[in-house]
Amino acid sequence: MTDFDTLSLWVAVPVGLLLVLGSTLTLLGTVGLVQLKSFYDRLHAPTLGTSWGTAGVLLASILLFSALDGRAVLHELVIGIFLLITTPVTLMLLGRAALHRDRAEKVRGIPPARARGDAGSDG
Amino acid sequence: MIEQNLILVLVMLPFLGAVITATLPVNAHNAAAWISGLVLAAGLALMAVFHAPVAEGRILRGVVQWVPALQLNLSFRMDGFSWLFVTLVLAIGVLVVIYARYYLLKTDPVPRFYSFLMAFTGAMLGMLLSGNILLLVVFWELTSVVSFLLIGYWYQGQAARDGARMALIVTAIGGLCLMVAMLILGQIVGSNDLDRVLGSGDLIRAHPLYPLVLALFLIGAFTKSAQFPFHFWLPGAMAAPTPVSAFLHSATMVKAGVFLLIRFSPALGGTEAWFYAVTGTGMATLILGAVIALFRHDLKGLLAYSTISHLGLITALAGIGSKGAILAAIFHIVNHAVFKASLFMAAGIIDHETGTRDMRRLSGLMRLIPLTGTLAIVAAAAMAGVPMLNGFISKEMFFAEAVDWHNGTWLDNSLPYLATFASIFAVAYSLRFIATVFFGPPPVDLPKEPHEPTPWLRRPVEALVLICLVVGMMPGTTLGPVLNQAARAVLGPDTPHFDIAVWHGFNLPLQMSLVALLMGALLYLVFARQIAAGPEGPPLLHRIRAQRIYERLLLALSWRLPRLLHQRIGTEKLQPQLRILVLLALTFAAAVLWRQLAYATEPLANPLSPAFALMWLVGAACALGAAWQAKYHRFAALVLLGGAGLMTCLTFAWFSAPDLAVTQLLVEIVTTVLLLLGLRWLPKRREEIAEDQMLSARLRRLRDFVIAAAAGLGIALVSYAVMTRPLIPNIGDWFLRNAYKEGGGTNVVNVILVDFRAFDTFGEITVLAVVGLTVYALLRRFRPATESTNQPEQQRGEAAAALQDYLTVPGVILRWMFPAMIVVSAYFFMRGHDLPGGGFSAGVTLAIAFLVQYLGSNVRWVEARLTVLPIRWMGFGLLIAGATGLGAGLFGYPFLTAHARYVDLPLIGQVPAATAMLFDLGVYALVVGATVLMLIAIAHQSLRSARLRDQDTPEAESKEAA
């Protein structure tokens, strides 16, 4: 912990704020996952954590370690980019699977599939 | 010194010849024959060089270290006995090569024949010359294997294949017994050196294991020398080409057994057990062979049984074991080789010229092929023991030994009568051979019109018959000296000199010979007609044939019994197999740990962290849920299993084992995805199925639950006991201390894997390769259950249209990720030696990169754009790992010794460049290959079943239309 003692206040304050911001958003997302009623609503909740939640923590990490090492430590950006690209894939797959199932089981309140030119007959 | 090297050259020459002839074109008859002949002639020249020192009674040696730890060296020795034998083998070999050159058809593949022949000669020479009893066994087995190949040369024929297999099975069983005998002998004597074993006769005979050694040794020798009751393989081996028969059954293969008997008679012989077993078997074989030979209609069959009979004679002499008997045995080995080789060759010529070997069809050939006929008649007369021919003299000596030598047992007393009885039949069958084939009315209805063969096909026969005559008339001056040398080499330097003469006066042996000649002639003349009309074998006895018993036995042992066992205790279902496996493991673990499992008095423990406990709670819940859901909701179970795996991974990370955490994560991904792909092909289980709710099913599940719970609890208890023990200094500390110093890496796990324990890793990746191939092979022939062959619901009807492009966006993103994942994989690999990573995790990462491509797009799309050749990845992986290991040998280090250093690269800086890294590269490639191979095997299922459906649909439609 000795490293952190030498940290100047100008760095420590923004790092702390970013960390609090990121973790709070992630927590909120998790609470939402439990609280929200329908599956489609719940899909949105974790995105809080994967967007600004991650970004806050990562920015904090960049700031902190850049200040500590005295050079630009940027490889957290790679983590951010990959998370940004890949999490939508999961959510999309989950959403489409749920939609397909609900349509197949004729759950009420689910909009019907749109007619598509290339798919020939539909619906 | 020069002699030492020359002996090694002598043994290596035929093998060199085998290699050269193996590389010749298929129809290079002349070249192959010249090379083989010259190799053997060079061998003979070497023997001429050795003659002088051997004649002085010296023993020449040549030694090359091979496996000194096992006392197994390439040690060769030559004394008078082996000199004589080797010369015989080489001389007959040269003649056989000349004969074969003109005997083989233009279409017969040449390299196979001559290279096997050369290899066989080499094996035979090695056996004769080896000065180490284990080396002797090695060459002994080599003769069995190569003779199998030679006998099966015309493998297109059923008879050749059966004969070859029978010869191999019988002689290899004998070889196995011989090996055990030699190992015990080596233990008794304390050395595997032949000279020491031969010199320790008293020690061996007094040892309590002597009867066992003797029995095993004799089985080895008797099977090789076709002694009763192992004689039946020899007639079966007659399906071989005649040159092979002439070589194997005159001078080489079958003589190996009697060679061994004579060679080891000073060490093992001289006891009553030896006399009864060896002489008894020899006499039985002598009589049996002679009697059966008389009744065989096949020319080569007659010769085969006559060979058996003569081998029995030599064996009987070896059993008597007196000085004269040993000399007579050696003499008869030479004589028999000479006349039997010529007879086989003559039979081959007759077969070649007439197209048949059936003596009932052959007749009066003397008029058509007078020269060959004359030669065959002289050789057959030698076989019968007619005076003035070589067979007569050694037979006389046998009679003399039978009469003169006494130890007072019943067998000894009956020896002269038995010998005369057998001789009568020997005369009769020789006479039958001469009379039916060459005399009588001209042959009718032969497949071919016989002519004299090309002169060169006859030359070897001429040479051999000339030897028969010369030795028969002047035995003392021609073979006397070398025979005495050979006998001295076997029996020791104080052996008196024997004079071998044609005329010993009108004594008892001569009278026995005359009786045999007269009675034999009478026997044949009286019964000639009945024999020709009778069955293929002696009256009454022809129904009992050892070969048939062997075949029954083989059928029972290799077909019925295994199938019965398989039927009784085997099952094709996975569940019972797993149940048995788990129960066995449980039983053994319980038996071992019963009352032994002790817990540490003060358990080693950390304070409990609430976060960790929570994590484990989740993990445990996942695991339990997976087990709970496994029956009806496999998909949910798989997801839960993934959760449990993730918790394991986090646990490793928690306890500062990043290496394990990384590996666990990657393996978890791969297994989950592969299982997911596999789930598609399992038939669905539904709760509605009535049988599942019945009492028996419930009971079965309850039983399985109890077994599973017991096994799980057992593992938990053992793990707890092990992990709570106080820490003690162990090998791990050594690894931690030395990983950097010795292995040049700071990642201890990786250094252990690729350096300290590289050989284990090498074995493991080999296993992984085998597993990959096995999975592939199993899945290639996999037929899914009928319920799951249809397209899944999502690919049919409306759903298919709605879900047509559901993977477009994920697919694109996964394609973007592909290069990134390759970079990660390379990164893991490069840093593996010092930081968490390494070949295994890097390989799995790359495999995942391929895996997600298969997931994100369809199989056809991927394979049109991306070609992975997993088998080559695996092959190169193994090769790289193995070559790295062997590379250490170039610098004089043991296999897989690693070298580590750092190299300065411009721009990048210090880079570790350990040879272990190369080894790791092999691991990497192999892991990629094996994982992708399994993936492809599963992924292609969908392609295959799509194809199957396409095939089925038109048929079904056409049926409906009809």
pLDDT at B956 over 70: no
Mean pLDDT of B100-126: 90
pLDDT at B873 over 50: yes
CA distance, residue B903 to nearest chain A CA (Å): 26
* DSSP secondary structure of B96-117: HHHHHHHHS-TTS-HHHHHHHH
Residue A118, pLDDT score: 46
Mean pLDDT of B476-503: 83
Across the interface, of A89, A116, A120, the residue whose CB is closest to B813 is A89
Q: Which DSSP letter does residue B813 get?
A: H
Percent of chain B residues past pLDDT 90, beyond the cut: 34
Give CA–CA dist B438/B370, Å, rounded. Answer: 9
C-beta atoms surrounding B867 within 10 Å? 7
Residue in chain B closest to A82 (alpha carbons) equals B817
**β-strand partners of B75:** B63
CA distance, residue B928 to nearest chain A CA (Å): 23
pLDDT at A63 over 80: yes
pLDDT at A122 over 50: no
Residue A25 covered by a domain:
yes
Average pLDDT, chain B: 86
Give chain A positions within 8 Å (CB) of B813.
85-86, 88-89
Across the interface, of B794, B799, B810, the residue whose CB is closest to A92 is B810
Residue B41, pLDDT score: 94
Query: Is the CB of residue B227 less than 8 Å from the CB of residue B312?
Result: yes
Query: Is the CB of residue B252 less than 8 Å from the CB of residue B124?
Result: yes
Residue in chain A closest to B820 (alpha carbons) equals A82
Domain total of chain A: 1
Q: Which of B33, B180, B48, B206 is nearest to B103 (CA)?
A: B33
With CB atoms and an 8 Å threshold, state whether A85 touches B816.
Answer: yes
Give CA–CA dist B401/B406, Å, rounded. Answer: 9
Residue B129, pLDDT score: 92
Residue A117, pLDDT score: 47
Disruptive mutation site among A78, A84, A87, A92 for chain B (greatest number of B CBs within 10 Å): A92
Residue B803, pLDDT score: 72
Give the dihedral sign, CA B782/B788/B792/B796: positive
pLDDT tens, residue by residue, B281-296: 999 999 999 998 888 8
Mean pLDDT of B26-41: 90
Percent of chain B residues past pLDDT 70, beyond the cut: 96
Across the interface, of A89, A100, A122, the residue whose CB is closest to B803 is A100
Helix (H) or strand (E) holding B78: strand B72-78
Q: Which DSSP letter does residue B786 get?
A: G
Residues 6+ apart with CB under 8 A from B778: none
Give CA–CA dist A18/A61, Å, rounded. Answer: 9
pLDDT at B239 over 50: yes
Mean pLDDT of B769-778: 91
Residue B715, pLDDT score: 92
Residue B119, pLDDT score: 94
Q: Tokens for B470, please give them.
A: 């010369």
Flag whether residue B635 sits within 8 Å of chain A, measured between CB atoms.
Answer: no
pLDDT at A123 over 80: no
Give CA–CA dist B625/A25, Å, rounded. Answer: 30
In the structure, what pLDDT confidence band is assigned to residue A121 with cuts at 50, 70 and 90? very low
Across the interface, of A82, A96, A123, the residue whose CB is closest to B798 is A123
Q: Tokens for A52, please give them.
A: 């600004």
pLDDT at A23 over 90: yes
Flag whether residue B902 sits within 8 Å of chain A, measured between CB atoms.
Answer: no
Query: Is the CB of residue B129 less than 8 Å from the CB of residue B14?
Result: no
Give CA–CA dist B715/A66, Å, rounded. Answer: 47
Flag whether residue A72 sits within 8 Å of chain B, measured between CB atoms.
Answer: no
Mean pLDDT of B154-158: 87
pLDDT at B257 over 70: yes
With CB atoms and an 8 Å threshold, state whether A100 touches B798.
Answer: no
Residue B220, pLDDT score: 94
Give CA–CA dist B549/B611, Å, rounded. Answer: 75
The alpha carbons of chain B give a radius of gyration, in whole angstroms, of 37
Disruptive mutation site among A89, A92, A118 for chain B (greatest number of B CBs within 10 Å): A89
Give CA–CA dist B700/B696, Å, rounded. Answer: 6
Residue in chain B closest to A92 (alpha carbons) equals B810
Cα–Cα distances in Å, from B285 out to A86, B272, B314? Answer: 84, 19, 10
Disruptive mutation site among B806, B852, B857 for chain A (greatest number of A CBs within 10 Å): B806
**β-strand partners of B67:** B72
Residue A119, pLDDT score: 42
Residue B55, pLDDT score: 85
CA distance, residue A121 to nearest chain B CA (Å): 8
Residue count of chain A, please give it.
123
Give chain B positions within 8 Å (CB) of A85.
813, 816-817
Residue B915, pLDDT score: 78
Residue A117 covered by a domain:
no
In the structure, what pLDDT confidence band is assigned to residue A116 with cuts at 50, 70 and 90? low
In the structure, what pLDDT confidence band is assigned to residue B876 with cuts at 50, 70 and 90? very high
CA distance, residue B816 to nearest chain A CA (Å): 9
Query: Cβ-count burial of B58 within 10 angstroms (0-12 exposed, 13-18 middle, 19+ buried)?
Result: middle
Write out residues 775-804 of B within 8 Å (CB-CB) of A: 793-794, 798-799, 801-804
Give chain A positions within 8 Å (CB) of B801.
116, 119-122
Give chain A positions within 8 Å (CB) of B845.
none
Flag whether residue A82 sits within 8 Å of chain B, measured between CB atoms.
Answer: yes
Collect contacts of B894-900 with beta carbons under 8 A, ≥24 apart. B895/B759, B896/B758, B896/B759, B896/B762, B898/B743, B898/B744, B898/B754, B898/B755, B898/B758, B900/B743, B900/B744, B900/B745, B900/B755, B900/B833
Q: Tokens for B396, please give them.
A: 């006389």
pLDDT tens, residue by residue, B665-698: 999 999 998 888 888 888 777 777 777 778 888 8
Peptide bond into B894 cis (omega under 30): no
Mean pLDDT of B475-496: 85
Determine the 3-state secondary structure of B193 from DSSP: strand
| Residue A21, domain extent | 2-104
Across the interface, of B799, B810, B820, the residue whose CB is closest to A100 is B799
**β-strand partners of B130:** B76
Q: Specify the range with the lowest mean pLDDT, choosing from A36-45, B207-216, B528-537.
A: B528-537
With CB atoms and an 8 Å threshold, state whether B802 touches A122.
Answer: yes
Across chain B, which distance is largest between two alpha carbons, in Å?
113
Residue A113 covered by a domain:
no
Across the interface, of B794, B801, B810, the residue whose CB is closest to A119 is B801
CA distance, residue B813 to nearest chain A CA (Å): 7
pLDDT at A38 over 90: no
Mean pLDDT of B232-247: 88
pLDDT tens, residue by residue, B723-745: 888 877 777 788 888 877 777 77
Write out residues 809-848 of B within 8 Å (CB-CB) of A: 809-810, 813-814, 816-817, 820
Residue with tokens 């070249």, as numbered in its chain: B31
With CB atoms and an 8 Å threshold, state whether A96 touches B803.
Answer: yes
Give chain B positions within 8 Å (CB) of A123.
798
Query: Is the CB of residue B92 less than 8 Å from the CB of residue B461?
Result: no
Give CA–CA dist B109/B122, Å, rounded. Answer: 21
Q: Tokens for B188, please give them.
A: 């008794």
pLDDT tens, residue by residue, B400-417: 888 887 777 788 888 889
Residue A112 covered by a domain:
no
With CB atoms and an 8 Å threshold, state whether B810 touches A119.
Answer: no
Interface contacts (A, B; CB < 8 Å): 38
Residue with tokens 């050259």, as numbered in its chain: B9
Give CA–CA dist B688/B304, Å, rounded. Answer: 73
Residue A114 covered by a domain:
no
Flag whether residue B667 sits within 8 Å of chain A, measured between CB atoms.
Answer: no
pLDDT tens, residue by residue, A94-112: 888 888 888 888 888 787 7
**β-strand partners of B62:** B76
Q: Specify the range with the lowest mean pLDDT, choosing from A102-111, B117-126, B203-212, B296-305.
A: A102-111
Flag whether residue B806 sits within 8 Å of chain A, measured between CB atoms.
Answer: yes
Give CA–CA dist B462/B88, Å, rounded. Answer: 16
Helix runs in B570-694, H state only: 574-593, 610-629, 634-654, 658-679
Q: At what angle do helices B808-831 and B839-856 cross, to 10 degrees?
A: 170
Residue A123 covered by a domain:
no
pTM of the complete model: 0.68
Residue A75, pLDDT score: 86
pLDDT at B34 over 60: yes
CA distance, residue B840 to nearest chain A CA (Å): 23
Q: Which of B879, B884, B908, B911 is nearest to B896 (CA)?
A: B884
Flag whether residue A85 sits within 8 Å of chain B, measured between CB atoms.
Answer: yes
Peptide bond into B229 cis (omega under 30): yes
pLDDT at A120 over 60: no
Flag whether residue A89 sits within 8 Å of chain B, measured between CB atoms.
Answer: yes
Residue A119 covered by a domain:
no
Q: Which of B240, B231, B244, B247 is nearest to B170 (CA)?
A: B231
